[in-house]
Structures are given as structure tokens and as C-alpha cells.
Amino acid sequence: MNLTLQIWRQKNADAKGAMETYKVENISPDSSFLEMLDILNDQLINEGKEPVAFDHDCREGICGMCSLQINGEPHGPGRAITTCQLHMRKFKDGDTIYIEPFRAKAFPVIKDLVVDRSAFDRIQHAGGYISVNTSGNTQDANAIPVEKEKADKAFDAATCIGCGACVAACKNASAMLFTSAKVSQFALLPQGRIEATERVLNMVKQMDLEGFGNCTNTGACEIECPKGISLENIARMNREYLKASVK
Amino acid sequence: MSGIIKSSIARKVSMALSALFLLIFLLQHFLINFSSVLSADMFNELSHFMGTNPLIQFVMQPILIFGVVFHFVMGFILEVRNKSARNVKYVKYNGNANSSWMSRNMIYSGIVILAFLGLHFYDFWFPEIAHKYVHALPEDPNRYFGELVVKFRDPVRVGLYCLAFVFLALHLLHGFSSAFQSVGFNNKYTPAVQKIGKAYAILIPLGFIFIALFHYFNSL
């Protein structure tokens, strides 16, 4: 496959970025999107040019590091996949592909396609945990009975890899799906109920402080989420928040 | 408790509650308007009741005005905040891939509805207030149907009303079920709420269009 790539290049966080055009040739339809970018970078290095900076780590859809807005969609075309799981067969020979960083005020660009998603870490630090005494006397979690439906929903919420596709897809750059998944995974379990009130108040407060937008229920986040996190979690977080606020 | 006032969730919930209130108001407005198609006397009777009942005039009407103003002001506040949450726009943005046009453009359908409300108030509400409270004219319980019919003789006005109702339908197609989601209602009844929302969003504006066209064609 021969492709034209329109890629956002930005020297550093303070520099003004712009789209630049690159050509790549003889790309196998079986290569992954990130492998295609590796090939481009080899080409750029051989030409003595600066390679394109992009995030990646596990390359098997687990770590949530790879980001990229591809042709106007986070993680590109295809559903329930991360960019590392996207293959070039999804594109046609001769296509022009637009590659941009995830855009949000709360996700500033560090360089080229790499954005700082530490806002998610700070939301998580604000309450996305349970306080457990790890002195060696911790009770086995499996000893506490949990309703099957709730356990399944908590597990589904816990599959969020914090990649930020929800923010990138949302027209308001809202982080409600991420935050609600982190709130829900604990709110649904007995171990998480103990700190449920402070958790939801603190995590929502931090989410707002980071400068994410408000959810307008477009549902784009759920569609683009590589792990299929449901909007049901946002409704649950809204309920949890209202309940906590009047306590 | 103080944090809730400033929180994004509180803003969304208050927006949704005002929307749910306006949905109920719109339904009763439609039912009263529809009576004008069935019987002039029934329409006069209902309008006279709504226009003279102290509970409706001095309790419900101010609440309604507050609800309308709040919904629009909060809508603009949310829009400004949401726009600022993405300070650099995408060069290529494929919104259609993951969301409906209606859900992404609530502000624009809302602005059209706001403009329509200006026209609607100019046509009916301001003359009504002037009639009752400025000129303090004696109440004629049979004047309402005549006042309605006169307005719908103008094809330009009827056209503008119909256009506004199309935008109202677009607004409601997302707004109805979105209001339920915002207040935390997402459960096994959600598919039913979505179906009722779609039916409401199409049938009520279509009904208003029918009423406007009915009186226009009757006047020819």
C-alpha cells in the first residue's frame, strides 16, 4: 500500500504545531498502524530527519498508552480496539490518513503526537482506590459474597485502561466516562462502599479542576472506547454524586 | 454541599431537571393548542382558564419563565465551558462516526428555538400581558380563538413556526433521553424511555405543525 500521511508535528509543549505531509510506500496491509509509523520513522531517520514522536508500550491493547486521533476518530476506524490493534487493511491503497494527538486542554501536547494524560492519574489519586491495611492480615476478597450482576458490572468498569479515547472523542473533551468507570468499579462492590461518598466527591472535583468539559450524553465516548465502557457508568456516577452531595 | 453548586454534574442535572419540566409544559401547551382544532369553544374555555387562574398566572407562569430562562442561560454557560475544554481543534473530526448530529448541535437547535420563542412571545405573550395588565381591558372569555386564527393567516409566520418545530424535534430527539441519563436514570427501562422520547420528539412538533397548517388552510 502507498499512503499519504498528514501528521501533526510540534517540537515541544510551547511550540506552535502544524500538519506535515509524508509519503510511505510498500506498506503491508497486515502490518499494524504503529508498525506503519515505525516504518515512517525509519525512513525519516535514514533521511536525517526528526522521527515522529508517538506513545506506545504493550502493543497488545492492554496498557492504554497508544493514543492518536486517526481520520477524526480516536484509535481510528474500527470498534473496541486501540491504535496498536488497528491494521492497515482498514485503509485503502492511495488513502490520505490524518494523524493528530488527542485534543483536550487537560491533555496538553508534549511533542508531536504525544500528550500528557497525567490528569487521569490525578483523578485516580483523588479517590480511585480502596484503603486496605496491607500488614499481612488482609481478608481474602473472595471471602466476601458479591452479587453476580454487580461483580460483572464492576469488572466491566475495571477494564478501563485509561487511554483517553473518551476525552478525545467527546465534542466537549469530557472525562466523565473514565471517571465514572473508576467510580463504578468500586461503588458496585462491598469493599468500595465504605469510601464511596468521599470517592465520588473528590474524583469529580478533581475532574472539574483538570478542565475537562461537561458531558452532553452524545455517546461518542462509549462508541470509541476500546473496552466498551458503558454510559450506564456515567448515570451511576451522577446518582452516586447526588447521593453523596446531600449526605 | 457547597461543592455541588460549582460541579459539572450539578450543572448537568439542573439542565436536565429544567428540561424535564419544559417537556411537561410543552405537552400541556400542545394539548390546549390542539383543542383549537377540535372546537373553538373548548379552546376559548381552556385559554380563559389558563389566562385568569391565579395559581397558573402568579405561581406556575413565573416558574415557567424561570425554567425557560434557566435552561437557555445554563445551555450557553455549558457551551462556553465545553468549547474551552478543547482549546486546539482537530484538523479532521469525524463526529458522525460516533454520535448523532442532533446530540452534537443542541446549542444550534436551541438557538433556533430561542429565536422562535422571541417571535412567539411577540405574537401572543406580550399582547396578552399588555391586554391584561397594561391596558387592563375587560376580560372577554371568547377572544382567544379569534386572536389565534388571525395570527395563522400569514404564510410567512406559519412557515417560520413550522421551521422552528422541525428544530424543536431535532432538539428533543436527543434532549428527551439525555435528560433522563443526566439525572442518573439508566436501567432496564432506558430502551423504553428512548422509544417514548423519539415518539414525543416527532409527534409533538408534528402536532404543532399540523395545528399551524390547519388554521392557515382554514383561513384561505
B120 in a structural domain: yes
Q: How far apart are CA A184 and CA A196, in angstroms?
A: 9
Exposed / middle / buried, residue A132 (Cβ in 10 Å: 0-12, 13-18, 19+): exposed
Cell numbers representing residue B154 in the block = 400569514
Cell numbers representing residue B157 in the block = 409566520
B191 in a structural domain: yes
Cell numbers representing residue B3 in the block = 461543592
Q: How far apart are CA B176 and CA B205, in angstroms?
A: 13
B37 in a structural domain: yes
B94 in a structural domain: no
Given A171, A173, A235, which is nearest B181 (Cβ)? Answer: A235
Q: How far apart are CA B108 and CA B115, in angstroms?
A: 11
B38 Cα distance to chain centroid: 23
Number of domains, chain B? 1
Which of A6, A21, A218 is the best substitution to test chain B (most B C-beta atoms within 10 A)?
A: A218
B96 in a structural domain: no
Which H/E stretch holds residue A4? strand A3-9
Q: How far apart are CA B106 and CA B110, in angstroms?
A: 6
Cell numbers representing residue B173 in the block = 430527539
Q: Which chain B residue's Cα is nearest to A98?
A: B92
A147: left (phi over 0), alpha (psi -120 to 50) or beta: beta
Beta-carbon-side half-sphere exposure of residue A229 (alpha carbons within 13 Å): 33
* Domain around B191: 6-85+103-219
B217 Cα distance to chain centroid: 24
Domains along the sequence of chain A with CATH:
3-111 (3.10.20.30), 117-245 (1.10.1060.10)
Phi (first) and psi of residue B51, to 5 degrees:
-80, -15
Would you write out chain B's pLDDT as a tens digit for each of its 220 residues?
A: 455 568 999 999 999 999 999 999 999 999 999 999 999 999 999 999 999 999 999 999 999 999 999 999 999 999 999 999 999 999 999 999 999 999 999 999 999 999 999 999 999 999 988 988 888 888 888 999 999 999 999 999 999 999 999 999 999 999 999 999 999 999 999 999 999 999 999 999 999 999 999 999 999 9
Residue A219 identity (one-letter amino acid)? G
B97 in a structural domain: no
Which H/E stretch holds residue B197? helix B190-219
Given A72, A77, A238, which is nearest B9 (Cβ)? Answer: A238
Neighbours of B177 (CB within 10 A): 24
Given B85, B90, B174, which is nearest A172 (Cβ)? Answer: B85
Beta-carbon-side half-sphere exposure of residue A15 (alpha carbons within 13 Å): 10
Distance from CA of A91 to the nearest CA of B (A): 16
B134 SS3 class: helix
- Dihedral (Cα; A159, A163, A166, A170), 10-degree rounding: 180
B173 in a structural domain: yes
Q: How far apart are CA B125 and CA A73, in angstroms?
A: 46
Distance from CA of A140 to the nearest CA of B (A): 31
Answer yes or no: is the ipTM higher than 0.85. yes
Cell numbers representing residue A196 in the block = 464511596
B95 in a structural domain: no
Q: Kindly report, residue by residue over A23-55, the tens digit of the pLDDT.
A: 999 999 999 999 999 999 999 999 999 999 999
